[in-house]
Structure 1
Amino acid sequence: MSQVQPPVGVDAVAAQKAALRGEFGNWSIVHTSDTGRWWAIRTVRRARLDGRLLGARVCTELDADTADGLRAKLREVAEDEAGAR
Structure 2
Amino acid sequence: MCARQASPHDNEAEKAALRDEFPRWSIIYTTDTGRWWATQTTRRARLDGRLLGARVCTELDADTADGLRAKLREVAEDEAGAR
On whether the aligned pair clears a TM of 0.5, the verdict is yes
User: Separation in 2 of the partners of 1:64 and 1:46?
Assistant: 21
Summarize deviations over 1:8-49 as a string: whole Å, max 9, x none. 70100000000000000000000000110000000011122x
User: Residue in 2 aligned with 1:31?
Assistant: 29
Percent of aligned pairs with the same amino acid: 73
2: CA distance, partners of 1:78 / 1:44: 15
TM-fit CA distance, 1:52: 4.8
**1:55 positional shift:** 1.1
Q: Displacement, 1:64?
A: 0.2
Shift of 1:56: 2.3
Instruction: Name structure 2 gaps, 5 residues minimum.
Output: 1-5
Q: Which secondary structure does the structure 2 equivalent of 1:38 belong to?
A: strand
Question: Counterparts of 1:3-82 in structure 2 under 5 Å?
Answer: 9-48=7-46, 50-53=47-50, 54-82=52-80
Which amino acid counterpart does residue 71 of structure 1 have in structure 2? R
Quote the RMSD (CA, aligned, Å). Answer: 1.3
Q: How many residues align?
A: 77
Between the aligned partners of 1:18 and 1:27, the Cα distance in structure 2 is: 12
1 or 2, which has the higher strand percentage?
A: 2
Match of 1:5 in 2: none
